[in-house]
Structure 1
Amino acid sequence: MKKSEMNSQTPFKSISKLFLLLFTSIASASCSNDDNTVKKSPVVLVHGAWQASYVWDQTEKDLKAAGYNVTVVKLPGHGDDTTPAYQVSFQAYVDEVKKAINTYNEPVILIGHSLGGAVITQTAAEIPQKIKKLIYVAGFIPQNGKSVLDYSQMDTASLLPPSLKLSDDQTLAGIANPEVNLPKIFAQDATDAQKQFLVSKYKAEPTIPLGTPLNYKTEDFNAGGKKYYIFTTADNTITYNFQQKMAKEAEITNTYTINSGHSPFISKSDELTKLIKDILLK
């Protein structure tokens, strides 16, 4: 090849290499950005009855590690809160959740477990513009005019109602023989250590919120973000069949399953967090 021909082709080779390097760099940057620049909405977690915010500890830790801002709501009358049972209302639960949501200047992902499902239902109907997604984890979804107690009594296969024991003034609902019944009802698939943990944290439940009917318009609830349901298929508290019934009534078609008892954040935390993260990225 003549020297002049070599010189005439060299620029073309250089340009080709430049384009190849540029394309590779862009592609690599694009892949990286897909993982790191996806908009991550804040997450608000609401616990259920006979439990408290501590049940979400591992879920909160894992979601924060994945880059999410997370708030775990502490419902009045639960955990370390000393509000007298007769002063605890269902609306107080809702107001506490709304307070957590309003700390963010954008719509949130609202997740509720068990009783927390009823709380997020009412909340979403009251401030639908602040909800991006609503995720139920074995959560109650009472229709307007119905209470959690109404729905619990409808679930005839549940082990919970026969185990309830009211205080003398009927302001508290306890679990009879909690050392035995609490693990059986709420976490039969947990390890012995996990069961003991739940028993050690046990506290009777205020009854007034359980018997308070929800009060909302269906159109407001429907406007409160896209809805998802995570079924717990081995649940002794809210049975799988009843969970399916509630999801169908609420017209929730985005459903997932986890083979666990009523407390997957305890017995199968990693699996639950994976499901939640999958939903968050949709």
Structure 2
Amino acid sequence: MKKTVSKMLLSAFAFSTFSLFASCSNNDENSSLKPQTYVLVHGAWQAPYVWNEVKTELIKSGNQVIVVGLPGHGADKTPPQNLSIDAYRDKVIDAISKVQGKVILVGHSMGGIVVTAVVESIPSKISKLVYIGAFLPKSGQSIGELAMTDAGSLLGPSLIESADHLTLDVNAKDLTNLFIPDGDTSAKQKVIDNYRSEPAIPFSNKVILTQNFGSVDKVYIKTLQDKVISPKLQDQMIASAEIKTVFPVNTSHSPFLSQPKTVSDLLIKIGK
């Protein structure tokens, strides 16, 4: 009887020790996946809605997400004559200032120059800078100047400038073909339903870069089927900025709408 009790106690001790070890191992594994705070910045002719599905996936993985709505986009009614890259930059900086610690800053398309300006201003708050099919001008260069070099872009012929030169429109018949030809019907309809004229002044604003910009780790997600910012121009910008980490995705200009899981998985991978 004593031997039986001893064996039972020994087995119980072994089981509890194994369980404790397994629990510690799982905790160690989970602790290595440190939650990140992602700050997502949309591009031109778009608004915060484009990040909805990506945001959901990032939060499911335990991360914090801040989606910044740029002034003059979405529901914001700031007059176009009052807008600039500096105004966009300051809106993003204000959002980041409410976060303890560093963030992963993500910019798409026109948002690329915005996040570049943000990093130049507050490099110590940014752990990684991620461009998704985004403009990345050289120091002293505007988006407009950079776009003029993009012979592979199909956007130019579709642009319609307002009489007061304060806004730019995309010809309605070209909108989804340019921005999301690979999206399903629902995704394309979102782009149509949320469309607004784009403030023009920020396209002529320049950003000056220093060692602040150079001090932050950068990643580029290259959109291989992009008709707005051609893959060739993306390659040139990547090379000019000496970005070493590049993830190609076989999508159009709006991968967060056509392949949101691909984008969220990449952002999680970048955050590890």
TM-score of the two chains, using structure 1 as the length reference = 0.90
Structure 1 letter corresponding to 2:176: P
Identity %: 36
In the TM superposition, residue 31 of structure 1 has moved relative to its aligned partner by 2.4
Structure 2 letter corresponding to 1:240: P
Structure 1 letter corresponding to 2:208: N
Which ranges of 4 or more aligned residues in structure 1 deviate by more than 4 Å?
10-21
- C-alpha contact (below 8 Å) 1:125/1:223 kept by paired residues: no
Aligned to 2:21: 26
Give the root-mean-square deviation of aligned CA atoms: 2.2
**Aligned pairs for 1:131-210 within 5 A:** 131-176=126-171, 178=172, 180-210=173-203
Provide the rounded CA distance (Å) in 2 between the counterparts of 1:11 and 1:141: 70
Aligned to 1:66: 61
Structure 1 alignment gaps of length 5 or more = 1-5
Query: 196, 212, 221: which is aligned to 2:205?
Result: 212
Provide the rounded CA distance (Å) in 1 between the counterparts of 2:239 and 2:14: 54
Between the two proteins, the alignment pairs up a number of residues equal to 272
Could you say what secondary structure the match of 1:40 adopts? coil
In the TM superposition, residue 35 of structure 1 has moved relative to its aligned partner by 2.3
In the TM superposition, residue 12 of structure 1 has moved relative to its aligned partner by 10
Query: 202, 222, 228: which is aligned to 2:219?
Result: 228
Aligned to 2:258: 267
**Aligned pairs for 1:30-41 within 5 A:** 30-35=25-30, 38-41=33-36
TM-score of the two chains, using structure 2 as the length reference = 0.93
- C-alpha contact (below 8 Å) 1:77/1:88 kept by paired residues: yes
Provide the rounded CA distance (Å) in 1 between the counterparts of 2:33 and 2:244: 25
In the TM superposition, residue 11 of structure 1 has moved relative to its aligned partner by 7.6
- C-alpha contact (below 8 Å) 1:145/1:214 kept by paired residues: yes
Aligned to 1:255: 246
Structure 2 alignment gaps of length 5 or more = none
In the TM superposition, residue 15 of structure 1 has moved relative to its aligned partner by 6.4
Deviations 1:160-209 (A, max 9, x none): 11211100010101112x1x211111101111222122011111111110
Aligned to 2:79: 84
CA spacing shift, 1:18–1:51, aligned 2, 3 Å: same
Provide the rounded CA distance (Å) in 1 between the counterparts of 2:114 and 2:186: 30
- Which structure has the larger Rg over C-alpha atoms? 1
- C-alpha contact (below 8 Å) 2:152/2:232 kept by paired residues: no
